[in-house]
Amino acid sequence: MSFLDDDRPTKPTAHEIGSDLSMLSADELDSRIGLLKEEIARLEAEKERKTAGRRAADSFFRT
């Protein structure tokens, strides 16, 4: 990797929490809403996985 790689612009994130939404079209807003819903589902699935693991450990050590 050369030092020139540092000068390339970074790819903007799909959505940044708290960013200005006034310049986005309704289609762009729908796209971001979809991305955020997918991320929420991913977070909830991970939370459930961890909660299930915790329940299993609790029940194992209570016996």
Instruction: Give the model confidence (pLDDT) of 32-41 as tens digits.
Output: 999 999 999 9
2 pLDDT tier (thresholds 50, 70, 90): low
pLDDT computed for residue 42 by the predictor:
97
The pTM score is 0.64
Higher-confidence position of 62 and 53: 53
Q: Which amino acid is at 45?
A: A
**3-class DSSP string for the chain:** CCHHHHHCCCCCCCCCCCCCCCCCCHHHHHHHHHHHHHHHHHHHHHHHHHHHHHHHHHHHHHC
- Give yes or no for residue 4 having a pLDDT over 70: no
